[in-house]
Amino acid sequence: MDEHGYTYDLLRELGLSDFQARTGEFLLVQPAKVVLLLVAGLVLTRVGARAVRRSIRSLQSRTPLRSSSTRAAQRAGTIGDVLAGLLRAVVWTIVVLLLLGEIGVQLGPLIAGAGIAGIALGFGAQSLVKDFLSGLFILLEDQYGVGDVINLGDATGTVEDVSLRVTRIRGTDGTVWFVPNGEIKRVGNSSMEWSRALIDVLVAYGTDVPAASRMISEEARALAADERWAEAVLEPPEVWGVQAMGADGITVRLVVKTAPRQQYGVARELRGRISERLRREGVRGPGQTVAVTPGALDIGTPPPLPPEPERDGGAASSSPS
């Protein structure tokens, strides 16, 4: 079977010997194939990288409530760069294999060995692939980011780092949690776009609830008007009214819409101001009793004790037998 191509036949027709024709074919055809493979690799990597970035931006723009997020746009760019890098690695791996085939290297054993190694690695790295894909969608959808306060069920705290494989969270007690992204089933983010401070004020039964609610509202509005807290409070505070009635007393709920991650500081400040105001106004809290001063209750004069029986100065004598 003739393994030569058109170039060999052309050179033979020009009167060259078999050796000369083979040499000419090798010197003319092989470099051309190598150049074409390199050019094809460059074109595919550039076009593919551009297509990947466009796809990521398109998917990110369809995500509700997050398309205008600067952090989301930055992360979409980062993910696009990562996927473009993976695409380049795949394309150039194929190009290198084709180049090895062109210079006479037997690719069968090499591909067979790589396939066996890939299968073994795939079975052993299933969880790693799952973590990678989950982290990819977490970053793409901007579910949370560094600085957010999130609840993952078993771990709650502030996000310190997010990678494609693991999320690092620091709890309020300082504990650092490393959570694989593939194990995250649900996420509660209390720092996205805006937050809400909930303050439950417990007062004793018998308290004038409308008056107490008015005091709570006045203190909340005073904090909102304070220049130090003006940027933290986004909307006028609202007193929702009686939230619960229990054995300890009546719970009045105050709600304040705040900037992200500002709800805790606002809630602490409001609790201090409200408790001080209620104390000044004499509003009793749960478990407090009315102080009793002497003379406040007329319990009357206690009756006199009965007189003791008179004694004759000696021991009582027994009657004669």
pLDDT score of 172: 84
pLDDT tens string for the chain (321 positions)?
456 665 666 666 666 676 666 666 666 667 777 888 888 888 988 888 888 888 877 766 665 545 445 566 666 676 777 788 888 888 888 888 888 877 777 777 777 777 777 777 667 677 888 888 888 888 777 788 888 889 998 888 999 888 888 999 999 889 999 999 988 988 988 887 888 899 999 999 888 999 999 999 999 999 999 999 988 999 999 999 999 998 888 999 999 999 888 888 999 999 999 999 999 998 887 765 444 344 434 444 455 555 555 555 444 444 443
pLDDT score of 12: 63
- The topology (CATH level 3) of 195-281 is Alpha-Beta Plaits (3.30.70)
* HSE toward the beta carbon, residue 290, CA cutoff 13 A: 7
Helix (H) or strand (E) holding 307: none
pLDDT score of 293: 40
d(CA 144, CA 72): 10
Region of 147 (left: φ > 0; alpha: ψ -120 to 50; beta: rest) is left
d(CA 31, CA 236): 75
Q: What is each CA distance from 2 to 6, 23, 26, 290, in whole angstroms?
A: 11, 16, 15, 113
List the one residue out of 119, 118, 137, 123 whose CA is nearest residue 182. Answer: 137
| Cβ atoms 34, 24 nearer than 8 A | no
List the one residue out of 84, 97, 99, 86 whose CA is nearest residue 31. Answer: 99
pLDDT score of 315: 42
List the one residue out of 252, 256, 236 whose CA is nearest residue 244. Answer: 252
List the one residue out of 89, 56, 86 whose CA is nearest residue 73. Answer: 56
Helices 263-281 and 209-225: crossing angle in degrees, nearest 10, is 130
pLDDT score of 169: 93
List the one residue out of 224, 232, 73 whose CA is nearest residue 145. Answer: 73
- The topology (CATH level 3) of 143-189 is SH3 type barrels. (2.30.30)
pLDDT score of 320: 40
Segments making up each domain of the chain, as ranges: 6-124, 143-189, 195-281
Task: Give the three-state DSSP class for 306.
Answer: coil
d(CA 219, CA 205): 22
| Cβ atoms 33, 100 nearer than 8 A | no
List the one residue out of 102, 104, 97, 100 whose CA is nearest residue 32. Answer: 102
Structure tokens at 286: 């749960």
d(CA 3, CA 1): 6
Contacts of 179 (CB under 8 A, 6+ apart): 152, 154, 155, 166, 167, 168, 169
pLDDT score of 278: 92
Q: What is each CA distance from 49 to 77, 80, 154, in whole angstroms?
A: 12, 8, 38
pLDDT score of 73: 66
This prediction's pTM: 0.55
Laid out side by side, the sheet with 188-189 consists of: 176-180, 166-170, 156-162, 149-151, 188-189
Q: What is each CA distance from 173 to 14, 180, 195, 258, in whole angstroms?
A: 87, 21, 22, 24
Structure tokens at 167: 């999320």
What class is the 6-124 domain?
mainly alpha
